[in-house]
Amino acid sequence: MNYLLKHARIIDPVTGTDEQLNLLIVDGTIDRLGANLSAAKGVEEVDLSGKLIAPGFVDMHVHLREPGFEHKETIESGCRSAAQGGFTAVCCMPNTNPTIDDESVARYVIEKGKQVCDGFVDVYPIAAATKGRQGEELSPMAELTHAGAVGFSDDGAPIASANTMRLALEYSSMFGIPIIQHAEDPSMTKGGSMNEGVVSMRLGIPGIPPIAEELMIGRDIALLRYVPKAKYHVAHISTRRSTDLVRSAKQEGLAVSAEVTPHHFTLTDEVVASFDTNTKMNPPLRTADDVEAMKEALRDGVIDVIATDHAPHTIDEKEVEYSQAPFGIVGLETAIGLSIAELVRQRFLSLLQLVEKFSTNPRRILSLPQIRIEAGQPANLTILDHEIEWTVDTTRFSSKSKNSPFHGRRLQGKAVGIFNHGRLRRVV
């Protein structure tokens, strides 16, 4: 099927494009861009007046739960959720059963994604940095890279041993693939369920201190100085001091990058007073000052990427005492709306900068093919309506799980379609 996408504002940070154009797609490839293109016979015209077209968005931090935890999410349902949220690619974390720590599991994830995601969403595995995510023996990085892994992480747990992290940085540097660190000193966080501070004291909930994150990032940056050819990425950064550490490391010229989740630049630890277990995640929601710091660091380029840490859990798993509930929330279907509301509307980011955080930068960090909206390039696109107002209704999520603290929240801006592998999928 061939398409003429008409009257859209095209935003592409790679080519520097930001203008209203028509886009002709022939056999999945961009044929032409122009202000006055018309459709030939056999070309479907799609009027996108008032809409934006951007290079396809990537969520570089999701938990698809397959294999092993299909009652929470499957690769198929996770891809449906990603498509609904406007993503044409997701990178799935290795805390599955079995762990993504050998090439057979990595290949399974990739092939299953090709089979069940209808060609709309590409699935890339993040492999475990250590066998079984135990933090001891390194995974076979060469084999995993060959199988298609695009990063290494023990996410859900930190690489706690300094020597193991040093070795992980050394070996991963041979393949140009980043180590993605869940930054947490586990000796300081056992039993914690929320941010340690005034609110946790008032509520009587054991806390997770900000210093646990900051110590681990500081240690890892010191190791990166020792292994300067390695690439190091901080997952779900959450404190002001953490952003200060990343800023300083970047100024040194170290290959450090960072991501933040929408919930960490939107919600504070005050919402935990509801005892809604959908406010429980790791790292926990922090203070209002930390939320402001996340927005400032995004604006300044200290934080490179917006990623969801999409972590599905069933209703039964979440409907327990706060201290017993698992960490994590789903985020694929609310990420764009929250980001436009909290960052673009509040003038921390322009729309072009937002596209960088969702598309250009994650592709650069993970060495994925960079998408360019120009003639001769494959059409891999996210289509947005940045003006539309809508209310979050978790009962309508495509994800198998509904564990979101944003149910009922009014947002402005969302994805209305994606285009990938020659096919247009409307999501509104």
Contacts of 287 (CB under 8 A, 6+ apart): 195, 197, 268, 269
In whole angstroms, give the CA distance from residue 396 to residue 72: 16
Identify the DSSP state of 121. Answer: S
CA end-to-end distance (rounded Å), the chain: 20
In whole angstroms, give the CA distance from residue 144 to residue 142: 5
Identify whether the C-beta of residue 87 lies closer than 8 Å to the C-beta of residue 118: no
Query: Taking Cα atoms as reference points, which of 220, 353, 245 lies closest to residue 295?
Result: 353
Phi/psi at 219 (5° precision): -60, -45
In whole angstroms, give the CA distance from residue 70 to residue 55: 30
Query: Taking Cα atoms as reference points, which of 428, 415, 399 lies closest to residue 88?
Result: 415
In whole angstroms, give the CA distance from residue 371 to residue 353: 15
Identify whether the C-beta of residue 21 lies closer than 8 Å to the C-beta of residue 10: yes
State the maximum Cα–Cα separation within the chain, in Å, rounded to a whole number.
68
Residue by residue, DSSP assigns 166-230 as HHHHHHHHTTT--EEE----GGGTTT--EE-SHHHHHHT--EE-HHHHHHHHHHHHHHHHHSTTS
Cβ–Cβ contacts within 10 Å for residue 116, how many? Answer: 17
| Burial of residue 84 (number of CB atoms within 10 Å: 0-12, 13-18, 19+) | buried
In whole angstroms, give the CA distance from residue 123 to residue 108: 11
Query: Which residue is catalytic, options 289, 309, 316, 393?
Result: 309
> Annotated catalytic, 309?
yes
| Burial of residue 362 (number of CB atoms within 10 Å: 0-12, 13-18, 19+) | buried
Identify whether the C-beta of residue 386 lies closer than 8 Å to the C-beta of residue 52: yes
Catalytically annotated residues? 309
